Structure 1
Amino acid sequence: MWKQIWQQLWEGHRGKTVCTISGAVLGIIYLFFGLWNMLIFALIVYTGYYIGKRIDRGEPAVPAEETWQWLMDKWRLFR
Protein backbone atom coordinates (compact mmCIF):
# COMPACT_ATOMS: atom_id res chain seq x y z
CA MET A 1 0.00 0.00 0.00
CA TRP A 2 2.68 2.52 1.00
CA LYS A 3 4.74 1.56 -2.01
CA GLN A 4 1.83 2.41 -4.32
CA ILE A 5 1.31 5.76 -2.63
CA TRP A 6 4.98 6.68 -2.98
CA GLN A 7 4.98 5.48 -6.60
CA GLN A 8 1.98 7.67 -7.42
CA LEU A 9 3.60 10.64 -5.71
CA TRP A 10 6.85 10.05 -7.57
CA GLU A 11 5.19 9.69 -10.97
CA GLY A 12 2.69 12.53 -10.65
CA HIS A 13 4.38 15.05 -8.39
CA ARG A 14 8.11 14.40 -8.55
CA GLY A 15 9.21 17.99 -7.97
CA LYS A 16 6.87 18.59 -5.04
CA THR A 17 7.84 15.28 -3.46
CA VAL A 18 11.61 15.79 -3.72
CA CYS A 19 11.56 19.42 -2.65
CA THR A 20 9.16 18.83 0.24
CA ILE A 21 11.27 15.93 1.53
CA SER A 22 14.47 17.96 1.19
CA GLY A 23 12.75 20.88 2.92
CA ALA A 24 11.66 18.56 5.74
CA VAL A 25 15.21 17.19 6.11
CA LEU A 26 16.66 20.70 6.21
CA GLY A 27 13.95 21.69 8.66
CA ILE A 28 14.74 18.77 10.95
CA ILE A 29 18.42 19.72 10.86
CA TYR A 30 17.42 23.27 11.80
CA LEU A 31 15.26 21.99 14.67
CA PHE A 32 18.33 20.58 16.36
CA PHE A 33 20.20 23.88 16.20
CA GLY A 34 17.70 26.71 15.97
CA LEU A 35 15.45 29.28 17.48
CA TRP A 36 11.79 29.72 16.59
CA ASN A 37 11.75 26.07 15.72
CA MET A 38 8.21 25.60 14.52
CA LEU A 39 8.00 28.74 12.37
CA ILE A 40 11.28 28.23 10.57
CA PHE A 41 10.58 24.52 10.06
CA ALA A 42 7.19 25.32 8.50
CA LEU A 43 8.76 28.00 6.30
CA ILE A 44 11.46 25.64 5.03
CA VAL A 45 8.97 22.86 4.26
CA TYR A 46 6.60 25.29 2.51
CA THR A 47 9.45 26.72 0.45
CA GLY A 48 10.41 23.22 -0.68
CA TYR A 49 6.79 22.51 -1.59
CA TYR A 50 6.43 25.79 -3.49
CA ILE A 51 9.59 25.23 -5.53
CA GLY A 52 8.54 21.64 -6.26
CA LYS A 53 5.10 22.84 -7.38
CA ARG A 54 6.70 25.32 -9.79
CA ILE A 55 8.95 22.56 -11.17
CA ASP A 56 5.95 20.25 -11.67
CA ARG A 57 4.17 22.99 -13.65
CA GLY A 58 7.22 23.39 -15.90
CA GLU A 59 8.05 26.86 -14.58
CA PRO A 60 11.54 27.89 -13.48
CA ALA A 61 12.21 27.14 -9.80
CA VAL A 62 13.27 30.72 -9.15
CA PRO A 63 11.43 33.34 -11.24
CA ALA A 64 14.52 35.50 -11.77
CA GLU A 65 13.28 37.28 -14.90
CA GLU A 66 9.87 38.08 -13.42
CA THR A 67 11.50 39.38 -10.25
CA TRP A 68 13.97 41.48 -12.23
CA GLN A 69 11.15 42.95 -14.33
CA TRP A 70 9.12 43.74 -11.20
CA LEU A 71 12.11 45.51 -9.62
CA MET A 72 12.78 47.51 -12.77
CA ASP A 73 9.14 48.60 -12.94
CA LYS A 74 9.26 49.73 -9.31
CA TRP A 75 12.55 51.62 -9.72
CA ARG A 76 11.30 53.52 -12.78
CA LEU A 77 9.03 55.52 -10.51
CA PHE A 78 12.06 57.21 -8.95
CA ARG A 79 13.65 58.35 -12.22
Structure 2
Amino acid sequence: MWKQLWEWLWEHHRGKTAGVAAGIPLGLIYLFFGFWRMLIFVLIVYTGYYIGRRIDRGEPALPILETWRLLLDKWRLFR
Protein backbone atom coordinates (compact mmCIF):
# COMPACT_ATOMS: atom_id res chain seq x y z
CA MET A 1 0.00 0.00 0.00
CA TRP A 2 2.75 2.49 0.92
CA LYS A 3 4.69 1.71 -2.23
CA GLN A 4 1.65 2.47 -4.38
CA LEU A 5 1.09 5.74 -2.52
CA TRP A 6 4.70 6.83 -3.07
CA GLU A 7 4.56 5.88 -6.75
CA TRP A 8 1.34 7.85 -7.22
CA LEU A 9 2.76 10.87 -5.38
CA TRP A 10 5.98 10.74 -7.41
CA GLU A 11 4.07 10.45 -10.68
CA HIS A 12 1.52 13.21 -10.04
CA HIS A 13 3.31 15.55 -7.59
CA ARG A 14 7.02 15.08 -8.24
CA GLY A 15 8.14 18.58 -7.21
CA LYS A 16 6.09 18.67 -4.04
CA THR A 17 7.25 15.20 -3.04
CA ALA A 18 10.90 16.08 -3.65
CA GLY A 19 10.47 19.35 -1.72
CA VAL A 20 8.99 17.57 1.27
CA ALA A 21 11.65 14.86 1.08
CA ALA A 22 14.35 17.54 1.17
CA GLY A 23 12.56 19.57 3.83
CA ILE A 24 12.29 16.76 6.36
CA PRO A 25 16.07 16.26 6.81
CA LEU A 26 16.68 20.01 6.81
CA GLY A 27 13.98 20.43 9.44
CA LEU A 28 15.56 17.73 11.58
CA ILE A 29 18.95 19.41 11.25
CA TYR A 30 17.33 22.66 12.38
CA LEU A 31 15.73 20.98 15.38
CA PHE A 32 18.88 19.22 16.52
CA PHE A 33 21.64 21.68 15.66
CA GLY A 34 20.06 25.10 15.29
CA PHE A 35 19.34 27.55 12.51
CA TRP A 36 22.82 29.01 11.90
CA ARG A 37 24.52 25.64 11.89
CA MET A 38 21.94 24.46 9.37
CA LEU A 39 22.69 27.42 7.11
CA ILE A 40 26.42 26.73 7.27
CA PHE A 41 25.74 23.07 6.47
CA VAL A 42 23.63 24.05 3.45
CA LEU A 43 26.33 26.50 2.31
CA ILE A 44 28.98 23.77 2.48
CA VAL A 45 26.78 21.32 0.57
CA TYR A 46 25.98 23.93 -2.10
CA THR A 47 29.67 24.79 -2.47
CA GLY A 48 30.45 21.12 -3.06
CA TYR A 49 27.62 20.88 -5.59
CA TYR A 50 28.83 24.02 -7.40
CA ILE A 51 32.42 22.79 -7.64
CA GLY A 52 31.28 19.34 -8.76
CA ARG A 53 29.01 20.82 -11.43
CA ARG A 54 31.88 22.90 -12.81
CA ILE A 55 34.16 19.85 -12.91
CA ASP A 56 31.46 17.83 -14.71
CA ARG A 57 31.21 20.55 -17.36
CA GLY A 58 34.99 20.49 -17.89
CA GLU A 59 35.48 23.95 -16.41
CA PRO A 60 38.07 24.80 -13.76
CA ALA A 61 36.82 24.03 -10.26
CA LEU A 62 37.41 27.57 -9.01
CA PRO A 63 37.38 30.37 -11.62
CA ILE A 64 40.19 32.33 -9.97
CA LEU A 65 41.48 34.05 -13.12
CA GLU A 66 37.98 34.97 -14.33
CA THR A 67 37.11 36.42 -10.93
CA TRP A 68 40.38 38.35 -10.72
CA ARG A 69 39.83 39.89 -14.18
CA LEU A 70 36.26 40.80 -13.32
CA LEU A 71 37.37 42.55 -10.13
CA LEU A 72 40.17 44.40 -11.91
CA ASP A 73 37.79 45.61 -14.63
CA LYS A 74 35.34 46.91 -12.04
CA TRP A 75 38.07 48.66 -10.03
CA ARG A 76 39.39 50.45 -13.14
CA LEU A 77 36.14 52.39 -13.33
CA PHE A 78 37.07 54.27 -10.14
CA ARG A 79 40.52 55.40 -11.34
TM-score range, shorter chain: 0.5 to 0.7
| Alpha-carbon separation, structure 2, partners of 1:66 and 1:51 | 15
Structure 1: gaps spanning 5 or more residues: 1-30
Alpha-carbon displacement from aligned partner over 1:6-26 (angstroms, at most 9, x marks no partner): xxxxxxxxxxxxxxxxxxxxx
Once the 2 structures are TM-superposed, how far is the Cα of residue 36 of structure 1 from its aligned partner?
Answer: 1.2
- Structure 2 length as normaliser, TM-score? 0.54
Runs of 4+ in 1 over 2 A off after TM superposition: none
Q: Relative CO higher for 1 or 2, CA cutoff 8 Å, sep ≥ 6?
A: 1
Note the residue ranges of structure 2 that are not aligned, 5 or more in a row: 1-31
For normalisation by structure 1, the TM-score amounts to 0.54
**What's the counterpart of residue 75 of structure 2?**
75
**Structure 1 partner of 2:24:** none
- Aligned-residue CA RMSD (Å): 2.1
Quote the offset at 1:78 in angstroms: 1.2
Q: Deviations over 1:43-65 (max 9, x none)?
A: 00000000000000000001011
**Partners in 2 of 1:77 and 1:68 — Cα distance?**
15
Name which one, 1 or 2, has greater alpha-carbon Rg. Answer: 2
Identify the residue that residue 50 of structure 1 maps to in structure 2: 50
Per-residue deviation, 1:35? 7.5
